[in-house]
Chains A and B, each alone.
Chain A
């Protein structure tokens, strides 16, 4: 184990320098709905809209972009290649490309924008109390748009995200973005076309194999970026996070928008992380159903109209924090110094080198971490986190006390809590409860989960309803997790290893970090730095003391340490259940479609029997993440057989892995040393011991 105390203390220094989180100055918020409530929406929609534009831009129509794409060397090259390979006339393929473009392309029109400006004003005023924006962020963005092509990278929790962002930019008289949207929106009559006119362009969900599609799509995006036509907006997470926990990033679109800079077709590109947080998520119950395997309704216009009834509901406040634009050039300086694109004409499709792929991945994680850093946390998020540790009921006064305590802790860890001025804790908790009456309520001085109709109905139904309520509640706690994950995993590791030796704790931490690499957002390859940060934050809140070699929990620290590990207990337990299922219940290769119902039934039965309380293991999100982690750890192999992905468990390895999450362990755990290095082996041992105490 190559971990010297010297390197530890060295990186500790770096980490403590970087992490002056709590003292970080963040911008003030401004409510943009306030003015909407005072003046005419119609006049607002018809206002004179003259956004500042990129300095190098010569304005052009959406159709001009399409024909530029079609005529581009890049697309023409692929057309000719395909024509040669398939023995078809280039005209036919060109036609195909044209169709792809027509399907994909946006056709932004001011009329549609004004229509949205009007209707969204009405709708947003109905739904939300306030929409708060950091104005300084908007000013920085305005400056950035003029300087270099801009890529907007918002977090994705709701369909409201992109509507809101465009609405916001319109309000501030900024250039409206073109937005990468999933092709499924086109399934919605009228709405799809309306979105198209408001600047959405549509991408198929998967097109890896289709070279023509790839060429047309990437060139379309790059053409808009290079010319500075409009800010380009897409979601790094690829889809709405159903759990409100940031999803691991997708790299495809990011690598496309980075390419013009890497090829020096533009001087620089700004990446702007945007954190959008909802006090109450519009789709919260939909998500919970979906996670439990009740299929997501297909996007349809009538579905949207039915959803109208939510208009009568209150969804609280939205906070939008527009982060500091990050210069891609600055990120690349000193990293990509060789000139990877000099020896091949730039219009030829070229697989990015490993260096570049790694760079793209690092940038993606960096941007997500920036999103997380600026994500506003409401008091209710704290309440939800506490509630989930105190089911089925909790004393109201205690809840208030705990909430205040957690507020302090969260701030120490750098969490961005927006606690309305002069609002006492009682009022804050109460207002959270009112807003989320569908999740929890106050009964006789106790706060209980709102699982109406629990008493009647079969056992299965009770479990299902309870799971719904817990998953919904978890959605809010989840917003804390990425802020807490580093110190918490140190806490979990401390409990598991029951050792004070830094090396052992780190080794366990590092193992946990690997296992949860798809569950939480970790910057790749800096396990030690993450560990140092976790330790630093724990030291900062007096939970631990560290010396060169050792880590001691302090006396008053035990409360914090056990709170933190309890916060992550559903994940440790959930993974344990999933691993157990995989090692015990599956013998042969399986598909994801088989796995998820399989695990669900398995967990469901355990819940019904009362053999576990881990409702969150029912979440398909957790199941998928666990599977991805196993693939990464090499315990399960991915195979592709005729268009179907199969996962092939390496049973022996899996057994041992499940073993270390399972209790008690069969004797021969030496066996898992196969393909499993010493360090891991050791950490598993810690895990097993540690779990004993965590689960007590």
Chain B
């Protein structure tokens, strides 16, 4: 008590909730894992895997082969269980240190804020493995001292002004789905850290149907944006795998990419105008035009700046009428090489559907393990027949074949036409159409994979995903070498079970592709699994770079991949970025230490 007073505030200045306008949403989400509280994988009384909740197609379904897959793939056993602590231990949380003068100024603005431990911890992390591990078993050394909830652009201007006045550090927070350690507070930061939560800036300000644009506040979450636009018959079509939780501002700040970029484009193709508040003032353009030649595009300083320059408050984004028709599809290839060749050809002919992905054999089996119990003998008979046709009649090796998943979108007629074109190309590369269901399940996997990680954590299995982009001619070599590197590094680092090391080609471009890796292993018998994990992830990244891949296609750099920035963009390039930072934010108010 005395101690607290000494620090400048008494116990009663330290209420649990001053106001958390986000409290209801926050309570829906797990505090120590991915996604919604009600959605998770469990093993039911019969020992079968089951996905709870009703939010996903998989919800409430029993997955009869999933347990076996886990046991086989990881050597994990249901008897060896670790448990996360049940709730946050408030006593462990670093105290909130906020100067009283600032608090007075803040109260005067009427902007909601909170110094509550749970609120602060919730915004102290993204979803990297080590962050989740800390939540389950430890505590962050440094977390935000205070959370603020501006509700509009003007609020943000006020907050940034106050931060400049009191020399505070601001870390913008959107959906909290970062996987680059971008949200972690720098341990050595001595100033008060203000977490600027944009979640209350979530309105669509206007829709311009003539120009097909919409001006939206940056805190809006992906699924809300699409839901609200859909009410007027529109969509942005920007669907990153995290779209249930990630925010528009976050997409801009990390140069995000969406699953359906083939039709709608990546974030840099979608934005028409950005308004950002910086310590130096507000940066924006004078008009909302499709293109302009006025020197280097200032949007490109903002996109990918990862919260180091300011807070994006409003974004004008392209919109499209909601497509009339959607159709999933899938193609089985005899092997990964043929599959990649097919995707390359599709990209060459520029006829890629909204989404086209190629999963390798391990990921195909992974997806297969998530197949729900079939309802009737008839479906199971049909499944058997399909399997027989592919493996016996067509001679595909079930341990080598791989699957492309497809998503078509547009007019019904055009979709069918497009579908035929793509399947024709696939046939040339030995591909066999494998049905809509397989396709849809493939996409579902990307939404539930993060939930699976939480399940794994309960059984000594840790894992993560990472991504890169690579020229077409190096795709195969990169995939093979990175997977192999992971396997070897695991062996060398004393991992006692063979890891899951799998990839998919997840986006196609004219000149290359985006490759996504999943990597997980059973860490029983290892004393410091996170350290081992990080060493292996680092080796995998080195391997990617040596194979001509990029540091990141869409996850960003954050603090996790900073060490390779110089190598990635050259000394001069880094200097260019630094000089922008120095001009815009000379006192490092946006001090999350990402990127540079």
Interface residues of A (CB under 8 A from B): 264-265, 267, 337-339, 341-342, 345-347
Instruction: Say how far A173's CB is from chain B's closest CB, in angstroms.
Output: 26
Report which of B480, B485, B545 forms a contact with A339, defined as CB distance below 8 A.
Answer: B545
Residue of B nearest to A342 (CB): B548
Given A345-B473, A346-B473, do A267 and B545 touch, yes or no (CB 8 Å)?
no
**Closest-CB distance, B52 to chain A (whole angstroms):** 41
Task: Tell me whether B473 and A264 are in contact (CB under 8 A).
Answer: no
Find B480's partner among A267, A337, A341, A347 (CB 8 Å cutoff): A267
Tell me, in angstroms, the Cα distance from A427 to B217 when the chains sit together: 97
**A264–B484 CB distance below 8 A:** no
Query: Which 9 A-B pairs give the minimum distances between C-beta atoms?
Result: A342-B548, A264-B547, A267-B484, A267-B481, A264-B477, A339-B546, A265-B477, A264-B481, A264-B546
Partner of B548, one of A267, A338, A341, A347: A341
Which B residues are CB-close (under 8 A) to A337? Answer: 542, 546
Please list 8 pairs of residues, one from A and one from B, whose beta carbons are closer than 8 Å in the complex, sorted by A's number. Answer: A264-B474, A264-B481, A264-B548, A265-B477, A267-B484, A337-B542, A339-B548, A346-B474
A120 to B548, CA, bound (A): 48
Seed contacts A267-B484, A347-B473; 14 additional CB < 8 Å A-B pairs: A264-B474, A264-B481, A264-B546, A264-B548, A265-B477, A267-B480, A267-B485, A338-B567, A339-B546, A339-B548, A341-B548, A345-B473, A346-B473, A346-B474
Among residues of B, the one whose C-beta sits closest to the C-beta of A268 is B484
Q: Does B406 contact A (CB under 8 A)?
A: no
Interface centre among B481, B485, B546, B548 (most CB of A within 10 A): B546
Residue of B whose beta carbon sits closest to that of A340: B546
Docked pose: A114 CA to B478 CA in angstroms: 40
CB closest residue in chain A, given B549: A342
Interface SS of chain B: helix
In the complex, residue of chain A having the shortest beta-carbon distance to the beta carbon of B478: A264
Instruction: Report chain A residues within 8 Å CB of B477.
Output: 264-265
Interface positions, chain B 506-561, Cβ under 8 Å from A, are: 542, 545-548
Report the separation of the CA atoms of residues A337 and B546 in the bound assembly, to the nearest whole angstrom. Answer: 7
Q: How far is the CA of A342 from the CA of B546 in the complex (A)?
A: 8
A261: min CB distance to chain B, Å: 10
Tell me the B residues contacting A by CB distance below 8 Å: 473-474, 477-478, 480-481, 484-485, 542, 545-548, 567
Residues in A with CB closer than 8 Å to B542 are 337
A265 and B548 alpha carbons, distance in the complex (Å)? 11
Chain B residues near A265 (CB, 8 Å)? 477
B contact residues around A264 at 8 Å (CB): 474, 477-478, 481, 546-548
User: CA A346 – CA B567 in complex, angstroms?
Assistant: 20
The answer for the CA separation of A267 and B480 in the assembled complex, in Å, is 8
Cβ of A326 to closest chain B Cβ, rounded Å: 16
Contacts of B485 in A (CB 8 A): 267
Using CB atoms, name the residue of chain A closest to B547: A264
- Roughly how many angstroms separate A342 CA and B478 CA in the complex, as a whole number? 12
Cα separation A345 to B548 with both chains bound (whole Å): 10
Q: Which of A264, A341, A342 has the most CB of B within 10 A?
A: A264
A265 to B474, CA, bound (A): 8
Alpha-carbon distance between A347 and B546 when the two chains are bound, in angstroms: 17
Write the nearest CB–CB distance from A346 to chain B, whole angstroms: 7
Chain B residue nearest in CB terms to A341: B548
Q: Could you tell me the distance in whole angstroms from the C-beta of A476 to the nearest C-beta in chain B?
A: 44
Q: How far is the CB of A56 from chain B (nearest CB, A)?
A: 8
Chain B proximity of A359: nearest CB distance (Å): 14
Q: How far is the CA of A267 from the CA of B482 in the complex (A)?
A: 9
How distant is the Cα of A53 from the Cα of B127 in the complex, in angstroms? 43
Closest-by-CB residue of B relative to A148 is: B484
A333 to chain B, nearest CB (A): 9
Question: Chain B residues near A338 (CB, 8 Å)?
Answer: 567
Residues in chain A near residue B484, CB distance under 8 A: 267
Residues of A within 8 A of B481 (CB): 264, 267
- Distance in Å from the Cβ of A151 to the closest Cβ of chain B? 19
Residues of B close to A341: CB separation below 8 A = 548
Q: Whole-angstrom distance from the CB of A219 to the nearest CB of chain B?
A: 15
- CA A387 to CA B480, docked complex, whole Å: 58
Chain A residues with CB under 8 Å of B474's CB are: 264, 346
Q: How far is the CB of B542 from chain A (nearest CB, A)?
A: 8
Contacts of A345 in B (CB 8 A): 473
User: Which residue of the partner chain B has the closest CB to A333?
Assistant: B542
Give the docked Cα–Cα distance between A346 and B475 (Å): 13
Inter-chain CA distance A338–B566, complex, in Å, is 12
CB-nearest residue of chain A relative to B545? A339
Measured between beta carbons, the chain B residues less than 8 angstroms from A347 are: 473
State the Cβ distance, B144 to closest chain A Cβ, in Å: 37
A592 to chain B, nearest CB (A): 42
| A337, B541: Cα distance in complex, Å | 12
Give the residue among B478, B481, B567 with the most A Cβ atoms within 10 A.
B481
State the CA gap A264–B484 with chains docked (Å): 12
Chain B residue at smallest Cβ distance from A338: B567
Q: How far is the CA of A345 from the CA of B512 in the complex (A)?
A: 13
Interface hub of A267, A339, A341, A347 (most chain B Cβ within 10 A): A267
